[in-house]
Structures are given as structure tokens and as C-alpha cells.
Amino acid sequence: MRDDLIEKVVIVGGGTAGWMTAAAMAKVLGQMPGLTIELIESDEIGTVGVGEATIPQINLFNALLGLDEADFVRSTNATYKLGIEFRDWVHSGHRYVHPFGFYGLDMLGVEFHHHWLKGQALADPHPLGDYSLGVVAGLAGRFAHPRPDLPNSPLSRIAYAFQFDASLYAKYLRLLAESSGVRRTEGRIVDVVQNGETGFVEAVVLQDGRQIAGDLFIDCSGFRGLLIEQKLGAGFEDWSKWLPCDRAMAVPCALSDDQQPLTRSTARSAGWQWRIPLQHRTGNGYVYSSAHISDDEAATILLANLDGAALADPRPLRFTAGHRKKAWVKNVVAIGLAGGFLEPLESTSIHLIQTGIARLMTWFPTQSFDQVQIDRYNRLTVQEYVDIRDFLVLHYSATERDDSDFWNYCRTLEPPESLANKIEIFRRTGRVIREHEELFTETSWLAVMVGQGIRAEAYHPVADMLPDAETLNRLNHIREVVANTAASMPLQRDYLVQSGMSAATMAAAVQA
């Protein structure tokens, strides 16, 4: 056996990032000889802990941990999610849905949307969303799990994610991690001990004087970046030029009858408002630019646009869009908000935690901390942030809104070159390009480009191999199949009860 294995991993900070890291490490690396994992957190330090929306990749993480979905849904007051609804982003009164999954059916070896674009050229009036089960079912408030036993149904491949209480998710993973051998230490870190020659972190010092030593330190300390920035000075790449929102107000409200399996984003005068329906309440927040609206004004607008009574006072959050220039420095790796922040417009916060963990597993070091693998980790991390940044900027850049200084700034700002290239190719050819292994699929790019009003001037010539009448007939048939399938699905609130995943129903049964 080699003698340079990591023996002690110290995770600095709890919350969603810390406990996701701890649970995954315990599951994947827990059997490594001599390895111990310790997480340090302080009850005195709060976490962001708002309602959290996710994307389908969360299912891979939950499967890795071996989570029982029904138990997970009940324990976190989760609901299902088929996509994100965008209201007023193009102009007031406009809406579209970015669905998970796919549109229609590929034909003649080319993507479905080329046939839809041909249909549009033939004056077919139906929007792209009519061909997505995620869109039609989501807007109707309906949900069902995929049915792979029905290969000819759009339900066979329907993709879904979750909306859950982030604080409850962290608690859920904490129980799992501790039962798998992770040690939790309560304490506030007041100092960091570094090696005088290498600069590596050797230990953190708690307020009561205890020193917690380790070989590898995972910084999950949130925006402040206690180790990665305050101690190691990784540097920060500021993207506020392209993503000018730098504040948020968050507040829960009473649940309404509108329980669609969709996260909702509604554009406001200086940013946008999220709506995340959970089983027990609805999470809300206003993400905004402090250069264009005051905190008090933002809170007033948020409270005036809730579905139900506010359950708390609005809680302010401050941030800067961007990322650490290096997420891994020496023997410290930043995960979650310690590594960077991109506004939750496309529900990527937890995914960035998940991929950071996955990359660390792939490039898990020995005590030699080979710089080659550290550099590789950092390149991949930066590229992921760039890809997501471009996708977020697309929403702001492709808008017709001119009703406020904020939207005039966003509409007239030149987008990053990588994004401008994607838009130009789609506009001229109808093709959607996807570089390397970027997170968002062709379907996602298509949904937002079309949804934001970017019009393709052409489509794949192979689509013309179908006669015009046949193209329209097939489009009509696909649309009918999607509509009929959605109508056959139960309402989400009924599905949760029928499937034994309703937290309220389970609590009532226990009390009885």
C-alpha cells in the first residue's frame, strides 16, 4: 500500500455545500484505509437556506448516495419540477417555459425543432412549447414519473428535478453523513495555521483554542471564502458587467392552490423574482441590481407580489456574480458559494456543488498534491462557470424590454463573444451548438433562444425531404399525443399523496 494517501479531510462549513460534500465523500471514499472526514460548523453562523430549485442531475447525486426518493421528498418537503417558467422576460405579458427533457420527435435524422421551424415557415401557429410534455404538463400542474415501459409515449423519457427546503436537505444529508462515519465538530474558526515553507493549511483554530488538523481542506464557508480567499488569496473573477444583479431579498409565504411542478421567474424593473412552491410553503425572492433600486423598494415589490401571506420578514443577501480564479489552491478546495456565485435563474447552485464534488472525486489527491491535476481541476471548474454564465446572460441580452434603466443596460450590453457566436449561428442556420461537455443541452439552449424571441432564418435542408402536408400532419399528431398524455397525468398534489410522498399526510398518519 502506498504511504502518501490522504488520511484526514476537514470540511469547513456545513449547510448544503458542506453536508453534500460530507455525504458524498463518506459514500465514495469512506472505505479508504485510514481516512477520516470531519466537518466543522457553528450554529452561530447562519446559512443561506432558502427554498432551493434543482435540475435533473440531482437525481444522479441522490442515486449515488442511495437515497430513497419517497423518504427524501417527505423529509425535505419537496415537490417535483419539470422546468422553469419565465414571465415578462421578453416584454410584459409574455411567458415561456424552459422544460427539462425534449421536444417532439426527431425525424429523418435531424432534430425535431428543424421540422417545427419548417412548420412555422408554413404558417403553422403553434408554439414550440406545445410539443414538450414538460411544458404542457407543468403548466397544467400535472406530474408523473417516467414510464420506460411505454417506449412510444413521451412519458417514457420525461425528465424531472425537485424543489425542496435547503435547510431540511442539509439536515437530511447530515444524518446520512454522520451515520456513515463523518464527525461533526461544533465551533467557530478564528485562525488558520499554515506551513511556513509551503503555505499549505495545516490546521484551523477554533474559538475555544482547539486545533483541527488535516491533509485536505474543503472550504464550504460560503461567500466569505474563509480559507480559499481570506487565507490563500485565490482571487475573484468579477462578472457583474454581464450579470449586474448583486442583491436579493428572500421571504417564504403561505402556500397557494397553484402548485405547478415548475419554478417561476418573473422579470421585474431591476431584476427578477423567483417562486419555488414546496409542500408546506412557497419560497420567494427578488434578485436585483442595487444600482437600479434600493433595498427598501425591492422588499416592497417582493411583498406586493406574493401568492399568500408572508411568513417572515424579507431577508437580504449580498453577492457578486463570478468565481474564484482558482477553486483549488495548495491543499484547499472551494465548494459551493466559497468557489463562486451565479444567480439562481436556472437553478444551478446545487448543481455547481455537485459537479465540484464529482471533479474532486475524479482528481482526488494524494499528499503530494500534484499540480498537474490541480490545474486540470481549475480549468474544468472555470469552463463550467463560463458555460453557465453565457446561458444566464442570454436571458438578459435577448429581451425587448426598454421600460427601465436596468433593462436598457442589459439589452444594449454586448454579450460575451462565446454567447454571441451561439446566437448568430442559431439565427442564421437554426442549428444549436453545444461545446465540449457543457451543462445545458441543445434542448435548453433552444428553449431559451426561441423563448426569448430569437428567430432562426433557416432550418436543416433535410427537413424538406418531407412534403409540406406531411410535415404539418406529423406536427399535429405529435402535438395531440403530448396534450393527451399530459391530460392523463395526475395533478402533482394528488400524485404526492397517492405515492406516499406527502409530508403532511405522513405526519398525520404518524400522529394517528
How far is the C-alpha of 80 from the C-alpha of 53, rounded, in Å? 9
How far is the C-alpha of 209 from the C-alpha of 224, rounded, in Å? 22
> What value does the CA radius of gyration of the chain take, rounded to a whole number of Å?
24
Which candidate, 151, 138, 60, places its Cα nearest to that of 99? 138
Helix (H) or strand (E) holding 443: helix 442-451
Instruction: Report whether 382 contacts 324 (CB < 8 A).
Output: no
Q: How many helices (H) and strands (E) does the chain have?
A: 15, 22
- Continuous H helices in 363-399: 371-397
Query: What percent of the residues of the chain are helix, what percent strand, and what percent coil, each to the nearest 5?
Result: 40, 20, 40
SS3 336: helix
DSSP 274: E
Query: Is 231 a catalytic site residue?
Result: no
What is the torsion angle, in degrees rounded to the nearest 10, for the CA atoms of residue 430, residue 435, residue 437 and residue 438?
-70
Q: In what order do the strands lie in the sheet with 161-165?
A: 51-53, 161-165, 79-81
Instruction: Report whether 265 contacts 86 (CB < 8 A).
Output: yes
How far is the C-alpha of 262 from the C-alpha of 87, rounded, in Å? 12
What is the crossing angle of helices 58-65 and 15-29, to 10°?
Answer: 50
Q: In what order do the strands lie in the sheet with 8-12?
A: 183-186, 36-41, 8-12, 216-219, 332-334, 328-329
The two most distant CA atoms of the chain are separated, in Å, by 79
Q: In what order do the strands lie in the sheet with 236-238?
A: 236-238, 322-324, 340-341
Cα dihedral 301, 306, 311, 316 sign:
negative
How far is the C-alpha of 107 from the C-alpha of 195, rounded, in Å? 62
Contacts of 105 (CB under 8 A, 6+ apart): 112, 478
How far is the C-alpha of 419 from the C-alpha of 469, rounded, in Å? 36
Which candidate, 21, 45, 10, places its Cα nearest to that of 336? 21
SS3 224: helix
Which one of the listed residues 8, 27, 81, 325 is annotated catalytic? 81
Angle at 331 between CA 171 and CA 367, to 5 degrees: 110
Cell of 253: 409565504
The set of catalytic residues is: 81
